[in-house]
């Protein structure tokens, strides 16, 4: 006669619980910032015991990393669903998501109010050179299609796009209320400015538009896949 014991838990439930914990953490960090958000708070808001959280992640930082990766994946999936067909639309969708997601915005801007002591840590872009590399490859394809300026390094174009997004997002925050433009307009301006700076002077040949759309879709597939794998690592599954 064997003891009944507790039956193994459904892995799907485990995953659901992990997400519930991340949901709680996301809300708390957005509201109180990283430093003031304790594991106890997260556990209470997620309706689990503190020890349970450590069944999912070894440290607080790993929980936070998982949260960021989930958010990043969600953002990229959302962008992909919009199915942007040009570089400009892609940047516009990315910017729109950045504006709408406090956590991603905080990461992009290095907002110490939210990130607390993690502010000076590794930049997100440096953290995953793969994502940067994917974007550079994408730019190379665009160049072949005559969609971006051909005679300057892709690395530089990446810097330009980054600077434009950063500049608009940041200055917006520290602007008097009266001078702020609506979100939609801001996003339009970012996309337009970045595209003008990086794009070829003239419109790409009409015949290329299909190839460009395909390249864009493929780029998004690639980065979504990368983000998905990173997240999987962080969820221990």
Partner DNA sequence: AAATGACCACATAATCTGATTTGGTCAAAT
Partner DNA sequence: ATTTGACCAAATCAGATTATGTGGTCATTT
**Binding footprint of DNA on the chain (CB under 7 A):** 5-6, 8-9, 13-14, 17, 35-40, 48-52, 54-55, 58-61, 117
Q: Which does 100 bind (CB under 5 to 8 A by kind): a second copy, DNA, none?
A: none
> Phi, psi at residue 156, to the nearest 5°?
-65, -40
Q: In terms of C-beta density within 10 A (0-12 exposed, 13-18 middle, 19 or more buried), how is residue 113 classed?
A: exposed
H helices then E strands: how many in the chain?
12, 0
Asked if 179 is part of the footprint of a second copy (rule: CB under 8 A), the reply reads yes
User: Pick from a second copy, DNA, none: which does 197 bind, CB < 5 to 8 A by kind?
Assistant: a second copy
Question: Of the two residues 44 and 143, which places its CB atom closer to DNA in the complex?
Answer: 44
| Least gap, CB of 119 to DNA (angstroms) | 14
In the complex, least distance from residue 48 CB atom to DNA, rounded to whole angstroms:
4
Rounded CA-CA distance 186/96 in Å is 9
Question: Which of a second copy, DNA, none does residue 6 bind to, with CB < 5 to 8 Å depending on kind?
Answer: DNA
- CB under 5 to 8 A by kind: which of DNA, a second copy, none does 50 bind? DNA
43 or 223: whose CB is closer to DNA?
Answer: 43
Instruction: Indicate which single residue of 160, 208, 211, 224 sits in contact with a second copy (rule: CB under 8 A).
Output: 160
Binding-site partner at residue 232 among DNA, a second copy, none, CB < 5 to 8 Å by type: none
Closer CB to DNA, 100 or 117, in the complex: 117
Q: How far is CA 115 from CA 29, 72, 118, 135, 219, in A?
A: 8, 16, 5, 26, 29
In this structure, what token pair is assigned to residue 173? 């925050």
Asked if 139 touches a second copy (CB under 8 A), the answer is no
Using CB atoms within 10 Å of the CB of residue 32, give its burial: 0 to 12 exposed, 13 to 18 middle, 19+ buried. middle
Q: Under the criterion CB under 8 A, does residue 197 sit at the interface with a second copy?
A: yes
CA-to-CA separations, 19 to 32, 40, 163, in angstroms, rounded = 20, 16, 33
How far is Cα of residue 112 from the mean position of the Cα atoms in its chain? Answer: 18
Say how many C-beta atoms besides its own lie within 10 A of residue 148's C-beta: 23
Binding-residue total with a second copy (CB under 8 A): 28
d(CA 117, CA 133): 28
Residues 76-135 that bind a second copy (CB under 8 A): 110, 123, 126
Residue 156 as a binder of a second copy (CB under 8 A): the answer is yes
Q: Measured on CA atoms in the order 112, 113, 116, 118, is the torsion positive or negative? A: negative
Partner in contact with 160, chosen from a second copy, DNA, none, beta carbon below 5 to 8 Å by kind: a second copy
Q: Which two tokens stand for residue 90?
A: 């892609």
Q: Point out which residues bind a second copy (CB under 8 A).
A: 110, 123, 126, 155-156, 159-160, 162-168, 170-172, 174-176, 179, 181, 185, 189, 192-193, 196-197
């Amino acid at each position: 006669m064997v003891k009944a014991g507790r039956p193994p838990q459904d892995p799907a439930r485990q995953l659901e619980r992990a997400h519930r914990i991340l949901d709680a953490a996301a809300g708390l960090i957005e509201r109180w910032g990283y430093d003031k958000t304790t594991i106890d708070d997260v556990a209470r808001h997620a309706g689990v015991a503190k020890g349970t959280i450590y069944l999912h992640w070894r440290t607080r930082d790993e929980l936070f990393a998982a949260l960021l990766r989930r958010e990043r994946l969600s953002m990229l999936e959302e962008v992909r669903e919009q199915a942007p067909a040009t570089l400009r639309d892609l940047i516009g969708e990315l910017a729109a998501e950045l504006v709408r997601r406090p956590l991603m915005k905080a990461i992009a801007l290095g907002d110490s109010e939210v990130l607390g002591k993690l502010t000076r840590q590794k930049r997100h872009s440096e953290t995953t050179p793969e994502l940067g590399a994917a974007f550079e490859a994408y730019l190379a394809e665009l160049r072949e299609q005559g969609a971006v300026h051909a005679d300057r390094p892709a690395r530089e174009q990446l810097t330009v796009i980054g600077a434009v997004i950063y500049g608009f997002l940041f200055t917006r925050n520290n602007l008097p209320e009266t001078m702020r433009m609506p979100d939609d307009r801001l996003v339009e301006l970012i996309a337009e400015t970045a595209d003008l700076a990086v794009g070829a002077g003239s419109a790409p040949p009409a015949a290329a538009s299909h190839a460009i759309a395909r390249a864009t879709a493929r780029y998004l597939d690639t980065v979504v896949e990368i983000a998905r794998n990173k997240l999987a690592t962080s969820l221990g599954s």
